[in-house]
Structure 1
Amino acid sequence: MMKKTALILALAAVSPVGWAQSSVNIYGILDGGVSYTTGIAGGTRKQVVSGIMDGSRFGLRGNEDLGGGYRALFLMENRLELDTGSNSNLPVSGGTFLPDRWGKQSAIFTPTAFTAPAGPTQQALIGTASAVLGGVLQSATDQLGAALSAGSFGVNIGNTRFWDRQAYVGLVTPFGGILAGRQYTPAYELNAAFDTMGTQSSLAAGQVAAVPAVIDIRQDNALQYRIQQGGLSASLMAAAGEGSTSQGRFYGAMAMYKTDAYGVGVGINTKQNELGERSLRTITLGASAKIGPGTLSFLYNDISNPNPAGISRLLGNLRGALQGGITSGAIAAAINARVPGGQGAFMASQINVNNLVNDYKSAFVQDAAAFSIGYRATFGPHTVYTAFNRLNDKTRFNGDTDSYGVVYTYALSKRTDLNFVATHFDNKAGGQAAPGQAGFLGGFTRAPGVDSNNLAMGIRHRF
């Protein structure tokens, strides 16, 4: 959940205004405090955290003036968890707790229709077959969910890369900049520019749609061409999958124009999964205007992900478990053990494996719209933010979530500030999102429809 500060640093590095000589600078942010979150399984969570407003980090950036309007540059940025000293963390709800959407077979799988030979045991046979299949599906779901949570829930989990946030090298020319390496994506850059919170705190627009993520924040193996002239910024990005087991090729583009008075922008990210199928696509629109003492901002994202990346192995494992139980006769034997009549093999033959695998896949499919509107005003050392965010989930799970709240920042100096956050998450129907902060995910509430509140306060220092 990367922060606007780092984006500004990256943009400054490729702006047309060059430095007079070569330079290498160390920079960073240390942001820590305490957080209080309700609605989580196991009760209220009170914790010392890293990254209330901005994810803690340190980095190196360099710039060399080559003359004639040409510059070489680089940037390497490390993730730092201030509370533990590590470079990874788990969500507030823990690394193994699964929402109903991924962990409860009765929520994931649609009923399978069984028929049975006429007779007094017909209803008992159908009920038993359904119960046996339900047990098989829950067992498979438990195993698949354990594999999913081990590698997916949290930030930088199971990842040994030191420069997790960014790592790229580039050349700036009179005709634009070319960057190569791990970078922020174009549509995410637009989100950071038009999110009232600038992706800071639990009130940030992306918090209501963090898991599964509705936008790709960064890309490995990325090449980017960008221009920046006055208030105009634009970029094109392409990234290769390079045999990744989690995703394929990626493309993105954005253009925005921002002044002190107003701003507008449009962006798109789209990628393929590891099988070459069209996966997550995010189309972003943003606008802002100076009104009164502050700035009003609006952000809209159209989200579509018909073929989620990184789950082909999970789908294959589910298919194997179901087919294995049918071909080995294990499901038939379980039915026959509970209802006489020897109809277990017939009932097992009616199980539609393809439909059940597609049910599991649909738990990861995304079809949603997200929007945010908010206002930010600064009065001397005081900055006040307020925002309303909504995720409209159009899938069968109906995981709608709203969030709203207020954030107050008091600047002790140009580098150091105190921050206070109050955010409410209103989960509708299948919604189960919990608030995180800038440096970590919130995860999930204890059940669908359960609301969550977050109170946090901390200190941030930039160097």
Structure 2
Amino acid sequence: MKKSLLALAVLGAFAGVASAQSNITIYGVADVAIERFKTDPGASTTRMSSGVQSGSRLGFKGTEDLGGGLSASFTLENGYDISTGAAAQGGLLFGRQAWVGLNGGFGSVKLGRQYTPIFGALDSIDPFGTGMTGDGSGIIAVFRPYGVRMNNTINYSASFAGFNGQLAYGLGEVAGSSSIGRQIGASVGYNNGPITGVFAYHDQNTATAAGVDTGNARTMLLGGAFNFGVAAIHAAYADNRDEGATGLRTSRSRDYMLGASAPIGAGSIMAAYVRHDDRFAGGAADADYWQLGYSHSLSKRTNLYTSYSIIKNDGAATFGGAAAGGDASWINVGVRHRF
């Protein structure tokens, strides 16, 4: 009896919140695939993988009009593994996103756990939308997204006449230092009609779990896409530079992507080639990444998909989870439902 009364009280509390702020949205993605993963040298594994095309999630978002052109907004987004029911993102309750912000004529300011601007830039130009291939990684199986998300982030964004921009600062929160563990990200994009273009920059101070400075990692990214109607072309270029705590260069590389996508009936086909060009170890860590995929819509919210992708690593490269110099390949068939 007590449990029933408690359940009714909880439901009543949620109903009160919903009536007070009726523009709260509950949304999500349920995505799962049967996947064959193989490393060479090594053995193949057939497995059920969650979130291959889009990460499986359950989210809550909403806005409140504060008057005078000002509004408040929030997003709380949980990631989960649909194949086991376990929490994703290391078990975090809202590991995908957790932020609150204010919006107005000045743009938007958001505080909390958020996507890095460089990840958003990659997602906007990847034919696969940073998913579906390479164990669900898309372009970021090779290109750097810097963890995809940043904790303790202050993000400012604005858009005007097809242009959009972001500036993000992630607090390192190390006592006695404002630089150890901090991250700085920025992007400027243009999206109007058939043209998409983006420039992004990320600077991350690397540190140990104990807060010891280990150096800096930096990436500059330039990318774009053009939709001809019958098909679209996609391209990206990134320059990566790493330094140790003493300021000495520890690595230098460049990444390239050339891809295409095209609608076919109720679906679409995507293909891309990615090249990692090692500029520090004499080319010993080069890699080539080929991707091919197809998505077929069953409705506005449900689709089937399949893809094949392979990463071929040179001597010191380990992309895709392969041993140094080994290859990694994926074949998957999956279903995604958005609600």
Q: TM-score range by the shorter chain?
A: 0.7 to 0.9
Q: Which residue is equivalent to 1:227? A: 158
Q: Secondary structure, in 3 states, of the residue corresponding to 2:123?
A: helix
Give a deviation string over 1:95-114, Cα, whole Å, max 9, x none.
xxxxxxxxxxxxxxxxxxxx
Q: CA deviation at 1:430?
A: 2.1
* 1:287 match: 224
The CA distance in 2 between the partners of 1:170 and 1:228, in whole Å, is 16
Match of 1:94 in 2: none
Name the counterpart of 2:149.
218
1:247 Cα deviation from its structure 2 partner? 5.4
Q: Which has the higher mean CA deviation after the structures are superposed, 294-303 or 237-246?
A: 237-246
User: Partner amino acid for 2:233?
Assistant: L
2-side partners of 1:424 and 1:391: how far apart?
13
Contact 1:214 1:282 in 2 (8 A): no
Deviation at 1:398, TM superposition (A): 2.1
Question: Which runs of 5 or more structure 2 residues have no equivalent in the other structure?
Answer: 1-20
1:21-69: CA deviation from partner (whole Å, max 9, x where unpaired): 8511111111001001222565111101101211111111011122332
Deviation sequence 1:267-320 (CA, Å, 0-9, x none): 111122334565121111111112351211111111122238xxxxxxxxxxxx
3-state SS in 1 of match to 2:24: strand
Residue 189 to residue 247, structure 1, CA distance change in 2 (3 Å): farther
Hey, what's the Cα distance between the residues in 2 that align with 1:393 and 1:215? Answer: 18
Amino acid at match of 1:269: H
CA deviation after TM superposition for structure 1 residue 178, in Å: 0.6
Aligned residue pairs total 309
Whole-Å separation in 1 of the counterparts to 2:222 and 2:188: 10
The alignment partner of 2:39 has SS state of coil
RCO greater where, 1 or 2, for CA within 8 Å and sep 6 or more? 1
* Residues in 1 aligned to 2:113 and 2:272: alpha-carbon distance in whole angstroms: 31
Deviation digits for residues 60-86 of structure 1, max 9, x if unmatched? 101112233211100011110111111
Q: Structure 1 pair 241/304, CA: closer, same or farther in 2 (3 Å)?
A: same
Task: Name 2:267's counterpart in structure 1.
Answer: 382
Q: State the one-letter code of the partner of 1:49.
A: S
Q: Does 1:368 align with 2:253?
A: yes
**Alignment partners' CA distance in 2, 1:191 and 1:297:** 11
Q: Which residue of 1 aligns with 2:173?
A: 242
SS at match of 1:306: strand
Indicate yes or no: 2:206 matched with 1:269.
Answer: no
Partners of 1:373 and 1:460 in 2: how far apart? 26
Letter in 2 for 1:384: I
Q: Residue 450 of structure 1 corresponds to which residue in structure 2?
A: 326
Partner of residue 291, structure 2? 405
Cα gap change, 1:35 to 1:233, in 2 (>3 Å)? same
Contact in 2 for aligned 1:214/1:303 (Cα 8 Å): no
Residues 203-252 of structure 1 show CA distances to partners (whole Å, capped at 9, x for unaligned) of 5111135xxx5634211111111102242110111121112899522111
TM-score w.r.t. the length of structure 1 is: 0.62
> Which residue of 2 is the match for residue 119 of structure 1?
none
Counterpart in the other structure of 1:174: 105
Q: Which is worse superposed, 269-278 or 422-431? A: 269-278
Give the Cα–Cα distance (whole angstroms) in 2 for the partners of residues 277 and 22 of structure 1.
Answer: 48
* 1:2-401 correspondence to structure 2 within 5 Å: 22-39=22-39, 42-88=42-88, 156=89, 159-202=90-133, 204-208=138-142, 215-243=146-174, 248-274=181-207, 275-276=212-213, 278-307=215-244, 365-396=250-281, 398-401=284-287
Q: Given the two structures, how large is their TM-score scaled by the length of structure 2?
A: 0.84
Q: Equivalent pairs: percent with the same residue?
A: 29
CA RMSD of aligned residues (A): 2.5
1:420 aligns with 2:306: yes
Quick check: 2:119–2:145 contact (8 Å CA) kept in 1? no
Higher strand content, 1 or 2: 2
Conserved 8 A contact 2:30-2:57: yes
Mapped partners of 1:276, 1:42: distance in 2: 36
- 1:412 maps to a residue whose letter is L
| Separation (CA, whole Å) in 2 of partners of 1:230 and 1:223 | 24
